[in-house]
Amino acid sequence: MAVAKNTGWGSVAGEYNDSFIENDGSYHSAVILPNLLRVVAPQLGKKILEVGCGDGYFSHAFAAAGADAEGSDIAAAMVASAKEKYPKLRWYTASADNLSFAKNDLYDGVVVVLALQNIENLNGTIAEASRVLKVGGEFVAVLNHPAFRIPKKSSWGFDEEKNIQYRRLDAYLSESAEEIDMDPGKEKGKRITVSFHRPLQVYIKALSKNNLAVIGFEEWISNRASQQGPRQKAEDQARKEFPLFLMLKARKLTN
């Protein structure tokens, strides 16, 4: 079995916790969490594993809703943070494509939030998720929308004549991997993460190959609004038209 590369998120664990999660207006708290609780429907008697759990924010929310929740992450610094914050839950340090701590047919749900796009071995990761799911169990993934958020190959533009903000795409069908500089402007000690772009068909084919049938597909928009100004209306309209996130939900058919 191939082992996923550590794509660098452990080195930015502090910023991940403070900037991305622990903020009432963050995408994680205002957009992803309420939608995820609805889609996953954690409840008493439901056993859920979050792969790529980071500091445990979503796993903790599943447990708070009554589920038996666990989390795993390849980054030891993230797992250490999760253990410190939520010591009553079970946490594992493991790559997403080698969940050696888990038995076959163990979980009712496997959830991956904003992590598949940072994992090189996509097929191995989905194969492991399928292995540990019970028959009828559900796999839920949330991604930066691969049709509109393509690292270094998509951007915003503004048409002054039509007064519209548009999304420019320089590529889509080609898979790509891009290094992301987490310390722009810094000369030394830069920390680099890696983000992988894949078109939608790659995800759907990987699910199908691993005995997972898509039963849900949603696109989630930004919760934010522009400041007052001449472009405010156009910018807010663009936020409603071009979703930030894609949610895929699939069910395990058989062993």
How much is the pLDDT for 182?
Answer: 66
- The tens place of each residue's pLDDT in the chain, 255 residues long, gives 333 444 555 555 555 554 456 566 899 999 999 999 999 999 999 999 999 999 999 999 999 999 999 999 999 999 999 999 999 999 999 999 999 999 999 999 999 999 999 999 999 999 999 999 999 999 999 999 999 999 999 999 999 999 999 999 999 999 999 998 766 766 666 667 899 999 999 999 999 999 999 999 999 999 999 999 999 999 999 999 999 999 999 999 988
In order of 50, 62, 74, 214, 219, the CA distances from 4 in angstroms are 17, 26, 9, 24, 27
Per DSSP, what are the bridge partners of residue 107?
133
How much is the pLDDT for 193?
Answer: 83
How much is the pLDDT for 64?
Answer: 98
Q: Helices marked H in 24-114 — which ranges?
A: 27, 33-40, 57-64, 76-85
CA gap 58, 227 in Å, rounded: 30
How much is the pLDDT for 242?
Answer: 98
Q: Which CATH number describes the domain made up of 9-252?
A: 3.40.50.150
Dihedral Cα 49, 50, 53, 55, nearest 10 deg? -60
Pairing assessment for the beta strands 164-169 and 154-159 based on DSSP bridges: antiparallel
Domain ranges of the chain: 9-252
**What is the DSSP-derived secondary structure letter of residue 227?**
P
In order of 14, 96, 166, the CA distances from 222 in angstroms are 24, 28, 15
- Which string of b and e fits 95-120 if b means at least 16 CB within 10 Å? bbbbbeebeeebbbbbbbbbbbbbbb
